[in-house]
Amino acid sequence: MKIIIMDTTLRDGEQTSGVSFTDEEKLSMAKFLLEDLMVDRLEIASARVSEGEFEAVKKITSWATKHKLIDRIEVLGFVDGTISVNWLKETGAKVLNLLTKGSLKHVTEQLRKTPEQHAADIKQVVDYAINQELVVNLYLEDWSNGMRNSKDYVFFMMDSLKDMKINRFMLPDTLGLLNPDETYSFCKEMKDRYPDKEFDFHGHNDYDLAVANVYSAIKAGISCIHATINGLGERAGNVPLSSVIAVVKDHFKYTMSVNEKKLTLVSKMIESFSGIKIPPNKPVIGDNVFTQTSGIHADGDSKSKLYYNDLLPERFGRKRIYALGKTSGKANIKKNLEEIGIELDPASMRKVTQRIIELGDKKETVTQEDLPYIISDVLRNKSIHEEIEILNFALSTAHGLKPVATLKIKIRNEVFEETSNGDGQYDAFMKALRKIYKRLDKSLPALLDYSVSIPPGGKTDALVQTVITWKTGREFRTRGLDCDQTVAAIKATLKMLNIIENNAL
């Protein structure tokens, strides 16, 4: 069996509090979602929302038409006579997802209409849309409440509309109130009663049951699941696509069109555009989910991959990491040393292990790139030669002027000095550094991520930890600690420079 995915990040996901995508961002995301991640269907907007939304839909439909993907682009519309349909026609969209009422309470208390009146209004819109050569899918909004409290109404609506040219009926748990047992029972009832109809399930996560409900919906025979990247959505969000992929492929062994190797890339892209950080423990896509912290786990993995499951990081373009901290054992440290090509005798390994545990007790972050420095410090050897030294730097900022940085640096006993401005003090520092490296015909790695953590308490003299992620061949991180955020970042950068200079990657 194949499970179809409709991604609604650009429509329902944009209802996340504080999230608003530009038309160019929407176009970029649409391209990634359809061409790279290869979702089957893409819901990109709601009709009539704004002029900006109108322009965004036009750009996406124009691109999709040129690439023969227009039939996979969908737009939410309303029971409003001809207005939504005309809006879609003007944008070039071909698929209308019509929002209707799936519970008696919504019809009588929000619309102030009878079921018969609402059904008649829906038929008018569907007939007009088909006349305008649109494909029509139909949302039964608040369907979950409808099945709980007014099942006869749900069946009345289905019986009234089942003979119309409606492609798919979409079953939303609009308020995220269902549990897995209800989801299975309600979905199976719909499938059994209307066996020739195609149904979608649209889950929200208010009770943290969205993924479990998707499992039950598929078990009941639902063939299409709606999801968003990173679980974006109103309130507690929608079911995350990453978890849907895991459930479908690993628990049901069903097929999907989705290219899971591109999932991490798309998730990071949406994180950047939305400004909503992915929690580090988020299944499949979080930073920590393929990180083993316990030394026992690392030891088991070394011997027979005892702590592996079907969620292999390579499936998603990632790799397994063995964290360094107070719960690290020799196996964790050995795994990290193997990565960077360093071998230690048993006595030296014990000393390094003890130092890492001590650092972990102080709540200090230890990265793989810190290991050569720790080894150098503990064993008093020369694993890392400080070939590069920052002799001096001056940072200045003034109202109405760009920040300026002057840098004096020694590289293999030769001194260089440069000045530059930038959008911030650290940016100015990096531009001065790049000038020096360009003069020497040396390249610098790309800066992928810059994170700052400040201990709670609000003291002005509190230490700030800056962790910077770089990429040159592979990704690596360096950290700096100081009372000043920019100085902490400069310390992390100096560490990166010496790692590069020593070819310690």
Catalytic residue among 141, 260, 369, 418: 141
Catalytic residue among 11, 72, 168, 477: 11
Say how far apart CA 254 and CA 284 lie, in whole Å: 18
| 444-to-134, 341, 413, 485 alpha-carbon distances in Å | 52, 22, 19, 21
Instruction: List beta partners, residue 404.
Output: 396, 421
Say how far apart CA 187 and CA 504 lie, in whole Å: 56
Instruction: List beta partners, residue 467.
Output: 451, 479
User: Is 11 an active-site residue?
Assistant: yes
User: Is 141 an active-site residue?
Assistant: yes
- Strand locations in 2-133 (E): 4-7, 41-46, 73-78, 95-101
Say how far apart CA 306 and CA 287 lie, in whole Å: 21
The greatest distance separating any two alpha carbons of the chain, rounded to the nearest whole angstrom, comes to 86
N residues, the chain: 505
- Asked if residues 85 and 96 have their Cβ atoms less than 8 Å apart, the reply is yes
In this structure, is the dihedral angle defined by the CA atoms of residues 378, 383, 389 and 390, taken in order, positive or negative? negative
Phi, psi of 461, deg, nearest 5: -100, 15
Query: At 449, which helix (H) or strand (E)?
Result: strand 446-453
Distant-in-sequence, close-in-space partners of 495: CB < 8 Å, separation ≥ 6:
369, 373, 478, 479, 480
- Asked if residues 165 and 126 have their Cβ atoms less than 8 Å apart, the reply is yes
The sheet with strand 464-472 has its strands ordered as: 446-453, 464-472, 474-482
Say how far apart CA 66 and CA 101 lie, in whole Å: 35
- Strand locations in 134-198 (E): 135-141, 169-173
List, by residue number, the catalytic residues.
Answer: 11, 141
